[in-house]
A and B are shown apart, each in its own frame.
Chain A
Amino acid sequence: MASEFIARRSFKTDHSSPVRFVWSHIRRHPLFGITMIIGAFSNAALAAAVPYYIGLAFNAITEGNGLEVVTSMAFAIVGSQLLRAGLQLMRNFSAEIFAQRIERDVRDELYASLLGKSMSFHDMQPVGEIMARVTNDVREMNFMMNPGLNLIVGSGMFLIAPLIAAPRMYPDLIAAPLLFFIAYVIVQIRYLRRLNPVAQNVRASFGTMNASVAETIDGLQVVKGAAQEDRERSRFSKLVDELRDFVVEQGDIEAQYLPILLLGLVTFGGFLHVTSLYLNGLIPIGTVIAFTGQIALFGFPVFSSLFSYSQLSLGMASAARILSIITTETTLDQNSAGYSEPLKGKITFDHTDFGYTETGAQVLHDVTFTVEPGKTVAIVGQTGSGKSTLTKLINRTYDTDAGRVLVDDVDVRDWYMAALRSQISIIEQDIFLFSRTVADNIRFGKPEATQAEVEEAAKKAQAHDFIESFPEGYQTVIGQRGVTLSGGQRQRLALARAFVTNPPILVLDDSTSAIDSATEDRIQKAIWSAAKGRTTILITHRLSQIRWADHIVVLRQGRVVAQGKHEELLKTSDDYRRIFARYDAPEADESADEESVELNAK
């Protein structure tokens, strides 16, 4: 499968189905699987030994053999149970290691696959959704192994132990346990088939309710402001009632838990059988007791499976969700044998079409323009007109559907992806900074950069002064102890981060709000200095930048409707003229005042 990143890892897993996926993880730990099964079996066998010893003790007493046999039986019970505890401990430890390793490995696998996915995947997938997979679902897979599978294997042995022990007491005695075993398996499978879909409804309905409450509470000011409390109440009420109905439906299915009936019947049937054997003089009284004790062992699987199977089905559902992320195809690959040269900075769009496959709608239509090395281009247009999308084709965040994008006259698909991306810096609209020090954020793209390089970049980006104003300066950890950065500061840090790598092409999706003029001045300065000596593409709301770009491309609904210089566009493009229109009349006769204000300010 195509991937943008491959982690060095020693194991491979099967992705063809959730069951195989789980199995391929289980298979990696044969030792612990075996000790778990041995532990479970010996646990059941030694539990079955207790009624056996009790039966022998009863035989001894009824035959008037005195206390010696009872004493040894008592010690046998204590001894066997201590041994059982020891083995159980081994089994539980194995199950725990087993489960924790699977959690660790599945998470690792999922995380590495996330890193390998293209940006089109990440753009479509909300972070909350991914986090739910990585946190809850991975956990569920752990719980599926322990206690889930551990209990199922453990209690399963309690189903098998009487099947082995009973015929050894007297061959006919296998009848009741065998019938129970068969009936139990059938009934249990049917029960789970009925329960699963309803349990899923309950979970989904709870999720919907939760999301709805969260939305109402977050938007409470609007709710109150529009006086719509009653509507929100009735909406919530409906969701709560819906959930209640699903919960009742689930409860009703759980109430009809046939294994309880089977347990009652096998207790009766088994006792009937064993007593008739006794009355016919075929077995001693101790065997009656030992056999009754064997039947009582069925209580454990009957009651534990209420819980353990739902754990198993939750886990499998989680595995399926995780797998669906891992197996989502991404089309881009690294092309490591591709073109890899220092970049000069020429960008050509050649009849480019593009659409995000998920939505089906085409976002860019037949886009054609060229940017010469070192020039500054402003892309303007309404939100949703395709401006950001356009820039994402340059570093192959996405691939075009038709037409080509060329960098230095080489199709980007022919470039080695790492060489291409490392020479293009994109500063996105939502600037993301990592929770580490300011310095580490700035050197993110070049971890070996020295402190001097970092500071130089910060100075160029007009960020040095505000960084120095923090108590810990460049060592300030972002996002901690109340260090909050304004949009303008974040943007300047992102610029500094880009400066460190000194990219020949810089794409700046610049829409930070800057409400005071001094900040605006600094940002302007930083951007002008960024644009120097490299190809710069600006997606900007700042009219001053649009006004002074070397070349302006006007997009409307994914089409280039006009391009050229400011003066040309004012003449040729209605769309372009509209945005400058409102500045014409009133501001013109006022510019005299403004001049004076600026002078006053200085």
Chain B
Amino acid sequence: MGLLGGLGADKYDRQYDDGYLIQRLATYFKPFKRRFSIIVVLVIVFASIGAVNPVIISSGVEALRDQNPDGTLQLILSGLLVFGVADFFVYLLRRRLTTRMIADVIAQLRKDTFNAAIERDLAFYDDNKSGKIVSRITNDTQELSQVLTISTDLVGQMTEFLIVFLVLITREWRLTLVLLGMMPLVFGLTLLFRKFARTATRQGSRSLAAVNDNIQESVTGISVAKNFRQEAMIYDEFDTVNRQSYTINLRRGFVLAMVFPALNALAGIVIGTLLYIGATFVIGRAIDIGSWYLFILGVDRFWFPVINLSSYWSQIQQGFSAVERIFALVDTENVLQQTDNKVPDEPMRGAIEFDDVVFEYKNGERVLDHFDLTIQPGESIAFVGHTGAGKSTIAKALTRFYEFQGGTIRVDGQDIRTLNLQAYRGRLGIVPQQPFLFSGTVMDNIRYARPDATDAEIREIAHSVGNGEWLETLPDGLQSDVGERGGRLSMGQRQLVSLLRVLVQKPTIFILDEATASIDPFTETQIQEALDLILSQSTSILIAHRLSTVRSADRIIVLANGKIIEQGNHDQLMAQGGHYAELYNTYFRHQSLSYIENAREMFAEAGD
């Protein structure tokens, strides 16, 4: 629970002081003012009942000694019954209300954190692992909920402590001081143990992590181990780390195992002392026997709150850091800012204009350098170039996933910085390099960008590619479950679904960051068919890795260092024998027929 995850601070983390955190958290409780005040009353009532119990019993003992004058005993007995029953009902009510309030607060906080996470721009996720963000939304809020529950209990116990203290000090202040004097000792002892325990725990978690890493690796690579029959070897390795973790975690357990015995021994000493001093007071007629008994009973009431406070101390601190992490995520500002909120003109034509665009990474490295380009509506452009030439950056800037630093990008003459992002992106059909599918059916995924599309429409589009032959390999056709992140589909099928998603959407502008993964030749043929369909409908930006894609574009643009160095169609550029020809030789030659036909001769001499 945040123990292993929260080790290193993230870049966007901020320091808030505890006062501010409490204040801000308090705003979440505002809607529950009434509930909150009732809970406060109930906590006090519950604490009072707890505190009154020893007082009643000790008075009962006193009354007994006096042989029950004027029915005090009856009163005390009925008091015990009433409070005993009330205790249960007050607890019940308090617990019900607290559970609801905390659950509601946490739900709201979760929603706010999720909203914040979904609003962050993509640059944020480049710097921060998504797993850690997820943990803030789910685990940190969970931790906070536990701390809030513990806190109500602690507040109750503290109140009880306070009431008992007030009763005791009015009876006999010197005895109270004896009792009170022990408290720092208890508190200090518990904290000391926690300090030892923390070191031991850190070592324990580390060795456990080593075991888990070992298992994760061998389970992931189990097929290799089996193919080579090396199970015994990896078992021995596991055995070593498993034993090591046992030894280290045992040591940690021993440290923790000492806490309660030590506290019990201390409690024994305190009770013995009070018994003796109390007796001298009774003999000296300073207190009556009931009070003497009350002090001894009071030890428990003093003991538990202090032990609890000190043992939950670190958890409360962790709660604070959890809240801090949550608010840090909520408060992070996006780098990307829109200047206006205009809805793009309908129908969009898809004319794109890059005007003196400058795009730099955070470290100042310039990827697009005063880049100018005009794309006609319906035109398809393939961008080629070496890695780092700025191909993907064009898509990053155009989709507004990332902020550019200079110049203007206009779509149909409108500055894309002034547009409503959701409305604008709704007109873009984007296929990322790693196609991402959501768990659900193939049909759900194809429909993703246009939830109102009918089943018939989806079916038609799915069958427009290769006569829907690709669906035959799926167990339930369009209704097949794609699994988590599309894991049950092959890479090629995922790409195909991604493309169909765009076909359903009928975007004005199509942006394809082509995957580099290799795909079986049959599926690839179908992908090509889907692609052709989209190209005929939209203005297209193709970041191309396949020869066939490059060749299907109206215009090929060769990029180097963020500038256009050549453009034209395939044949023209090949004829020039310049940069494109060199790129062709580097990236595309092996995809050509001549390569395929000559492969055997080329490598006939290979392998001695």
Contact = CB atoms under 8 A, between A and B. Distances in A.
Interface string A240-277: 11011001101110111110110111011001100100
B87 A260 contact: yes
Contacts of A74: 272-273, 275-276
B242 to A, nearest CB: 6
Contacts of B491: 383
A295 to B, nearest CB: 10
Contacts of B517: 511, 513
A96 B253 contact: yes
A71 B282 CA distance: 14
A211 B230 CA distance: 34
A15 to B, nearest CB: 20
Contact of B594 (A75, A513, A594): A594
Contacts of A84: 261, 264-265, 268
Contacts of B93: 255
B490 interface: yes
B95 A587 contact: no
Contacts of B456: none
Given A80-B268, A288-B61, A544 B448 contact: no
A221 B434 CA distance: 10
Contacts of A200: none
A593 B80 contact: no
User: Would you call the interface of chain B mostly helix, strand, loop, or mixed?
Assistant: helix
Given A233-B118, A255-B96, A428-B223, A529 B608 contact: yes
Interface stretch (B20-28, B104-112, B172-180, B353-361): B104-112
A221 B401 contact: yes
Of listed A99, A250, A384, residue having the most chain B CB within 10 A:
A384
B521 interface: yes
Contacts of A525: 603, 606-607
Interface stretch (B407-415, B466-474, B555-563): B466-474
B234 A275 contact: no
Given A127-B220, A529-B608, A213 B522 contact: no
A167 interface: no
A582 B526 CA distance: 11
Contacts of A257: 88, 91-92, 95
Of listed A258, A418, A530, A583, residue having the most chain B CB within 10 A:
A583
B29 interface: no
B466 to A, nearest CB: 9
B521 A93 contact: no
B234 A115 contact: yes
A10 interface: no
B196 interface: no
Given A67-B279, A271-B80, A515-B516, A108 B224 contact: no
Interface in B64-100: 64-65, 67-68, 73, 77, 80-81, 83-85, 87-88, 91-96, 98-100
Interface string A114-141: 1110010010001100110011000000
B587 A206 contact: no
Contacts of B218: 115
Contact of B490 (A383, A447, A513, A588): A383
A547 interface: yes
A267 B80 contact: yes
A514 B552 CA distance: 21
B8 interface: no
Contact of B520 (A209, A278, A444, A541): A541
Given A220-B122, A222-B448, A597-B581, A383 B523 contact: yes
A226 B449 contact: yes
B206 to A, nearest CB: 14
Contacts of B3: none
Given A86-B261, A92-B260, A525-B603, A215 B275 contact: no
A445 interface: yes
Interface string A509-534: 00111111110110011101110100
B516 A108 contact: no
A86 B117 CA distance: 52
B215 A111 contact: yes
A591 B95 CA distance: 81
A57 B275 contact: yes
A292 B53 CA distance: 12
Interface in B590-608: 590, 592-597, 599-600, 602-604, 606-608
A256 B84 contact: no
A441 to B, nearest CB: 9
Nearest to B118: A229
A131 B423 CA distance: 42
B41 interface: no
B279 A255 contact: no
A101 B243 CA distance: 9
B60 interface: yes
A107 B60 contact: no
Nearest to A245: B103
Contact of B220 (A397, A422, A432, A542): A432
A557 interface: yes
A569 interface: no
A129 B226 CA distance: 20
Interface string A404-429: 00000000000000100110111010
Interface stretch (A58-66, A188-196, A336-344, A468-476): A58-66
Interface in B167-220: 211-213, 215-220
B5 interface: no
A226 B432 CA distance: 11
Interface stretch (B133-141, B318-326, B363-371, B375-383): B133-141
B275 A73 contact: yes
Interface in B484-526: 484-485, 490-493, 501, 505, 515-525
Interface string A204-243: 0010011101111111111111111101110011001101
B93 to A, nearest CB: 8
B289 interface: yes
20 contacts: A7-B235, A57-B279, A67-B279, A84-B268, A85-B262, A92-B260, A95-B257, A97-B250, A103-B246, A210-B138, A216-B118, A240-B114, A254-B95, A256-B92, A265-B85, A268-B80, A526-B606, A542-B518, A544-B599, A601-B585
Given A85-B262, A501-B228, 4 more contacts: A221-B122, A271-B57, A275-B60, A418-B229
* Closest 5 pairs (CB-CB, A-B): A529-B607, A81-B268, A264-B84, A251-B99, A384-B473
